[in-house]
Structure 1
Amino acid sequence: MGLVGNIRARWNASPDTPVLHWEQAWWSRARLLERSRQAAGFLQAQDLGPGDVVGLQAHRGPDFLAVFLGALGSGVTVLLLNGAYTPREVGFLAEDADARLVIAQPAVLDALRAAEPCALLSADDLAQRLDAARGAPIDGDPQGPTISLEAVGALGYTSGTTGRPKGAVIRHRNIQGTVESLHTAWGWSTADVLVHALPLFHIHGLFVAMLGSLWAGARTVLLPRFSASAVSRSIQEHQGTVFMGVPTFYHRLLAQPEPPELPSMRLWTSGSAPLPAPVWESFRDRFGCEILERYGMTEVGIVLSNPLKADRVPGTVGFALPGVHAFVVDRDSGVPLPDGEVGELRISSPGLITHYLGLPEKTAESISVDTTGRRWMRTGDLACRRADGRFSIVGRMGDMVISGGLNVYPREIETVLLDVPGVDEVAVVGVPDPDWGERVVALVVADGPVDAAELLRHARSHLAGFKVPKEVRFADALPRNSMGKVQKHRIRTAWPMP
C-alpha cells in the first residue's frame, strides 16, 4: 500500500471517529474518506491516472485535504501551489511539472486562460464538482488501486529566490518516513488534538502537521487562518494538545494583552525559520511551556529535533532523529569538522528525495553518494554541532558575510542585538562595499524606544570589531515570505548604497 492505505490501516476500522473540525462541525473519518473517493472519481473523470500531475491551489478546508488524499490514493501526483503565487508563477510550475489539471484561485485562473497550459478549474467551483462526482476506490479500499511507496506523491518547489525554482520529487515513502519518525519522537497518540493554523500548501502544514495527525489517528481543528485570539480560543474550546507554528505566530501569541490559560497543551513546535532565543524564553515565562524547535527542508523532511522529554535548548534544533545521519563538514572539501566549528550541514534521511524534476545537474550538485552507497543532501545551511550532539543552525551559506576577508555569521549578530530592550526583530546582511568587499548592516524592527547608537554600543561590548554592523536602519516590518522566513535578498537589494 501507499501512504493513504497505510494511514487507513492504522485507524482500526473506527469510521465514525471525529478527525477534522471545520466551520463549527466535525468531519468523521468516514466522511473524509468518502470525500476523498469523490475527489479521486473527479480526477479520473478528467482523465488523470497514475503518474499524472494535478496542480493544487485550492481554498483552505476539507476539500483541499480530500483532493490531496484522493490524488495520492489513486496514484496521481499533487503539485503543491502557494496560494499567493501569481499567474506567471503558477503557469511556469504547471508547465515545468507537465500538469494535466490545475485547480487555481479565480484571479490566477482568469489570467491563465489565455495561455491554457492545461485543463483548468476555479477553486470556487471545486466543491460543486466534487459534489457531482461519482466516488472511485482509493488506496486501502477492497477494490482500490495498488499504490507503491515508490510512487511520486507530491512535487514541492523550492522558493527560487536565487534562481530557477527546483521541483523536489517527493515519493510516498519520503512522506511516510518523516511522519513515522515524528510520530515516535513527538509522542503522538489518538488522544491528541492538533490546532492547525499553518498553510496547507507547505510541507510544514501538510506533511508535518496534518498528515502527522492523521497518521496518529488524532483530531485536527483546522482554522481558516492564523490569529492569536482564534488559536487561544480553539485550544480552550477543544482541549488542544499540539500546536505547530512559525516564529511570527509566537510573536503574536506573546503580544496578547492577557496570557490565556492553556493547561491542555503538551507540545508547541516551531520551524520554517529560526526562533529567536528571547521569544523562546518569553514564551516559557508567560505560558509555562518550552517551545520545541526542529529543523527540516523540503528535500529531506524533518531530520533534527529537540527532545520531547529532555531539556530543550533555545537557539538549537536538537539532535538527529532516528534513521537520520547528520554531519557538519567543510563546505569545500566535505571533510567532517570537529564539534563547535561552523560548516555546511549534510543530511541523509528516509525523507531524502531522489532528484529534482528535469534537473540532473542541480540534482548532482545537491545530492551525493558516498562509498557505502548512502545518499547525502548538501543542505546549504551553515551549522555547528555541540559536544552533546545538539545542532545549531547559524544561517544559509548564501547569507554568510565575508568582510575584509573574515567570515561573519549574521545569526550571531542578530542574537546579540535582540538582547537590547526595545528590539522586536532584526535581520543582518552583507551589502557590497568597495573597501571591505562586504559590510555588515542591520535592519531593526523596534517595539520600544531604542536608537542606532545604543545598538552599536551593545554590539561593540559583545562582539569582535569586524562583526559590529557598520550601519543600522529601522523598519516597520521585515520582508517575509508566506511561511514567515525573512527574505534577506530583498533587504540587500533595497539597501541604500553609500
Structure 2
Amino acid sequence: MSQNHNIFAAVRGGFPQDLDRTAIETLDTPGYYTWRDLERGSAMMANLLASLNLPEGSRVAVQTEKSVEGLMLYLAVLRAGFVYLPLNTAYQSAEIEYFIGNAEPAVVVCASKNFGWISQLAFKAGTTHVYTLDDDRTGSLLARAAHHSDQHTPVARQADDLACILYTSGTTGRSKGAMLTHGNILSNTLTLKAYWGWQDGRDVLIHALPLFHVHGLFVAAQAALISGSKMLWMAKFDPKLVVSRLPEATVFMGVPTLYVRLLAEAGLTRDACKNMRLFTAGSAPLLIETFNEWRERTGHTIVERYGMSETSILTSNPYRTEDGERRGGTVGFPLPGIGLRVQDDQGGACPVGEVGGIQVKGDNVFAGYWRMPEKTKEEFTADGWFKTGDVGRIDERGYVTIVGRSKDLIISGGYNVYPAEVEGFINEMPGVAESAVVGVPHPDFGEVGVALVVPKPGASLDDATVLQALKGRIANFKVPKRVFVMNELPRNTMGKVQKNVLRDQHKELFA
C-alpha cells in the first residue's frame, strides 16, 4: 500500500505513547488538554465533516478567535482530507466577502458574534454549511461534533494533494490564495524539527502567536505536536504572563514586537530564562538594538529566520554552535534541502554581497496561486525558481540579509500591509481624488502605515473622518496610524507618485 502523506498522520505519529499526559495547558483561563483530548476532539470534528458528504477537495474557511478547539479543527480538516483556509480575525466584511467569493468554501466556521453577517455572505456565495466556534468551548460546531464517534481513520492523501490555502495580499491590492500541499507543509515541519533540535516529549513551547498564519500554525503549533511537546497556550499575548512561565518552558517563538514588549518587563532576567534553549523571531525584521539587548538581558541569542506564506520557513540562523554564529541583522542560511539565490534584473546571479531579487526552490515551495494560473506562471522563473518579491544579499560566509520588498510592502507588528489595497479603500471614499500609503519606522510595530490623501476640488476632508471610515472596513493592523490631507502628491517626470519622497518626509513621525 502506498504511504499516506496526510500531514495529520505524521503529526499524530509524534504524539507520546501515554495519551493521558498533558498536551496543552491554557494560561489565560487555566485548563488542561491531554493528547487523548486532541485525538478524540479532532476525530469527532473530522467525522462531522465526513457526514456532510462534501465534494473532494472542499475548502473549510475558518475565522475564529484563538482556541485549542480551533487547533483541533485544523487537525480535523486535514484528517478528513479537506482543505483548510484560515482567515485573520481582524478581517472585516469587504475582505471576508472577497475570500469567500474567491475560495468558494463548502464550510465556513466563524465566531458567534459574527454569525449574522458572515453567514449571509457565505450563503450568498453558495456555501452550504456555516458553524460557530467560540473561545469558551461553545458554538454549533462543538454541539454538532459531540454527536459523532471519537474514532476516525485519517483519509489517505498524496504529497501533492492540496492541504491549505493561505491568502497573501498582492501589491496590486487583490489577495492571492497560496496553495500549500501536504508535502509542502510536512517537509518544512520535519526540516525545522531537525534543524532547531526539537526534543521528542521533552520540550515545552510557550505559544503566544495567532493561529491564522504560517508562524503560529505550522512553525509553532505543528512543530510542538509532531515532537510530542507540551504547549503553554495563550489566547492573547501578555508579556507579564510569559515572563512568569518562562522558567517552565524551553522554546518561545515571537515576532519582533513581542520581544520589544518582553524587554519592558523587569522580571525578564537570566534566571527566568535558565531552562530556555530556543528563542526564534520572524515575520518582520528584528532591530539590531532588540537583538543585542535581548542577549545582554537574558544570556540567549535570538535565532532570526525568514519565511513567507508561499514557502513557510526558508532560512534560519544556526541553532547549533558548530553550524556557525547567530548574526544579528541577518536571517542566516538556507535550510537543508532549500535552494536560495540572488538574481539581478537581467536574471543573472548577483556577486557576493550585492543586492538583488531573492529566488527559492525546494519541497516547501507552494503549488501556485488559487485559480490564478497566469499569476503563478509569472512568479516562477523558466527553470522553476520562485521569485519571492524580497530583495536581499548573501555575504561571503553564506549569511542571507533581507533588504526589503521589491514593492512597497509594509510589515507592521509582523503583519503584511499592502499599500495598494488600503489606497483602494481610501480612493472609494466620497471627496477623495487620490491617496498614497507609505510605511514609516515605529518603535513598537517596526513599521506603520501613513496615508497621504488629496481631496477632490471643492471637497473638504479631515484625517479623523478618513480613519473612522477605514476602521469599519478593513483589519485594524492595515489602518494607517496617521492621515495627512495634501493638495497634491509628489510625482516624477513620468507622473509616478514618488513614495520614497513621502517616506522620507514622514520618517521621523514616530521617532
TM-score, normalised to structure 1's length? 0.79
The aligned residue for residue 168 of structure 2 is: 158
- C-alpha distance in 2, partners of 1:13/1:427? 45
The aligned residue for residue 92 of structure 1 is: 98
SS in 2 for 1:146: coil
Q: Decide which of 167, 171, 179 is 1:169's aligned counterpart.
A: 179
Is the 1:35–1:130 contact (alpha carbons within 8 Å) kept by the matching residues of 2?
no
Q: Decide which of 302, 308, 329 is 2:313's aligned counterpart.
A: 302
The aligned residue for residue 195 of structure 1 is: 206
Is the 2:391–2:404 contact (alpha carbons within 8 Å) kept by the matching residues of 1?
yes
- C-alpha distance in 2, partners of 1:275/1:196? 19
- C-alpha distance in 2, partners of 1:218/1:171? 24
The aligned residue for residue 407 of structure 1 is: none
The aligned residue for residue 339 of structure 1 is: 352
Q: 1:442 Cα shift?
A: 8.1
Q: Read off the aligned partner of 1:324 and give its amino acid letter.
A: I
1:120 paired with 2:130, answer yes
The aligned residue for residue 478 of structure 2 is: none
RMSD: 2.6
Q: Cα deviations across residues 263-286 of structure 1 (Å, max 9, x unaligned)?
A: 111110000000011110111111
Q: Read off the aligned partner of 1:240 and give its amino acid letter.
A: A
Aligned residue pairs total 422
The aligned residue for residue 459 of structure 2 is: none
- C-alpha distance in 2, partners of 1:30/1:435? 63
The aligned residue for residue 67 of structure 1 is: 73
Matches within 5 A, 1:84-483: 84-115=90-121, 116=123, 117=125, 118=127, 119-124=129-134, 125-126=139-140, 128-130=142-144, 132-135=146-149, 137-138=151-152, 141=153, 144-160=154-170, 162-190=172-200, 191-236=202-247, 239-260=248-269, 261-310=272-321, 311-330=325-344, 332-370=345-383, 375-399=384-408, 427=447, 433-434=490-491, 438=498, 440=500, 469=504, 472-475=507-510
Q: Decide which of 12, 17, 21 is 1:13's aligned counterpart.
A: 17
Is the 1:300–1:348 contact (alpha carbons within 8 Å) kept by the matching residues of 2?
no
Q: Read off the aligned partner of 2:314 and give its amino acid letter.
A: V
Q: 1:130 Cα shift?
A: 4.8
Taking structure 1 as reference, are residues 57 and 112 closer, same or farther at Cα in structure 2, changes over 3 Å only?
Answer: closer
- C-alpha distance in 2, partners of 1:329/1:11? 42
Q: Cα deviations across residues 28-79 of structure 1 (Å, max 9, x unaligned)?
A: 2111110001111221233335411111112311111111111101101111
Instruction: Among all aligned residue pairs of Structure 1 and Structure 2, give the percentage whose two residues are the same amino acid.
Output: 32
SS in 2 for 1:33: helix
- C-alpha distance in 1, partners of 2:392/2:199? 32
Is the 1:283–1:290 contact (alpha carbons within 8 Å) kept by the matching residues of 2?
yes
Taking structure 1 as reference, are residues 130 and 224 closer, same or farther at Cα in structure 2, changes over 3 Å only?
Answer: farther
Q: Which runs of 5+ in 2 are unaligned?
A: 410-439, 453-488
Q: Cα deviations across residues 222-273 of structure 1 (Å, max 9, x unaligned)?
A: 111101111112223xx10000000100110011134342211111000000
Q: Read off the aligned partner of 2:203 and give its amino acid letter.
A: D
Q: Decide which of 56, 59, 70 is 2:62's aligned counterpart.
A: 56
Is the 2:45–2:76 contact (alpha carbons within 8 Å) kept by the matching residues of 1?
yes
SS in 1 for 2:260: helix
Taking structure 1 as reference, are residues 11 and 339 closer, same or farther at Cα in structure 2, changes over 3 Å only?
Answer: same
SS in 1 for 2:164: strand
- C-alpha distance in 2, partners of 1:337/1:166? 29
SS in 1 for 2:385: strand
- C-alpha distance in 1, partners of 2:35/2:208? 21
Taking structure 1 as reference, are residues 426 and 350 closer, same or farther at Cα in structure 2, changes over 3 Å only?
Answer: closer
Q: 1:106 Cα shift?
A: 3.2
Is the 1:356–1:363 contact (alpha carbons within 8 Å) kept by the matching residues of 2?
yes
Q: Cα deviations across residues 430-482 of structure 1 (Å, max 9, x unaligned)?
A: 99634697374687xxxxxxxxxxxxxxxxxxxxxxxxx45644238xxxxxx
Taking structure 1 as reference, are residues 16 and 283 closer, same or farther at Cα in structure 2, changes over 3 Å only?
Answer: same
The aligned residue for residue 485 of structure 2 is: none
Segment drifting more, 293-302 vs 47-56? 47-56
The aligned residue for residue 492 of structure 1 is: none
SS in 2 for 1:43: helix
Q: Cα deviations across residues 75-104 of structure 1 (Å, max 9, x unaligned)?
A: 011111111111222222122112011011
Q: 1:358 Cα shift?
A: 0.4
Q: 1:380 Cα shift?
A: 0.5
1:3 paired with 2:23, answer no
Is the 1:367–1:378 contact (alpha carbons within 8 Å) kept by the matching residues of 2?
yes
- C-alpha distance in 2, partners of 1:435/1:180? 49
Is the 2:243–2:268 contact (alpha carbons within 8 Å) kept by the matching residues of 1?
no
Is the 1:380–1:397 contact (alpha carbons within 8 Å) kept by the matching residues of 2?
yes
Is the 2:59–2:106 contact (alpha carbons within 8 Å) kept by the matching residues of 1?
yes
Q: Read off the aligned partner of 1:199 and give its amino acid letter.
A: P
The aligned residue for residue 465 of structure 2 is: none
- C-alpha distance in 1, partners of 2:367/2:360? 13
- C-alpha distance in 2, partners of 1:429/1:71? 36
Taking structure 1 as reference, are residues 441 and 45 closer, same or farther at Cα in structure 2, changes over 3 Å only?
Answer: same
Is the 2:45–2:145 contact (alpha carbons within 8 Å) kept by the matching residues of 1?
no
Taking structure 1 as reference, are residues 198 and 429 closer, same or farther at Cα in structure 2, changes over 3 Å only?
Answer: closer
Q: Read off the aligned partner of 2:242 and give its amino acid letter.
A: V
Q: Cα deviations across residues 326-364 of structure 1 (Å, max 9, x unaligned)?
A: 00001x221110111000000002111111110011101
- C-alpha distance in 1, partners of 2:74/2:506? 48
Taking structure 1 as reference, are residues 222 and 365 closer, same or farther at Cα in structure 2, changes over 3 Å only?
Answer: same
Segment drifting more, 59-68 vs 195-204? 59-68
- C-alpha distance in 1, partners of 2:499/2:169? 26
Taking structure 1 as reference, are residues 129 and 424 closer, same or farther at Cα in structure 2, changes over 3 Å only?
Answer: closer
Q: 1:175 Cα shift?
A: 0.6
Taking structure 1 as reference, are residues 376 and 135 closer, same or farther at Cα in structure 2, changes over 3 Å only?
Answer: farther
Taking structure 1 as reference, are residues 31 and 217 closer, same or farther at Cα in structure 2, changes over 3 Å only?
Answer: same
The aligned residue for residue 482 of structure 1 is: none
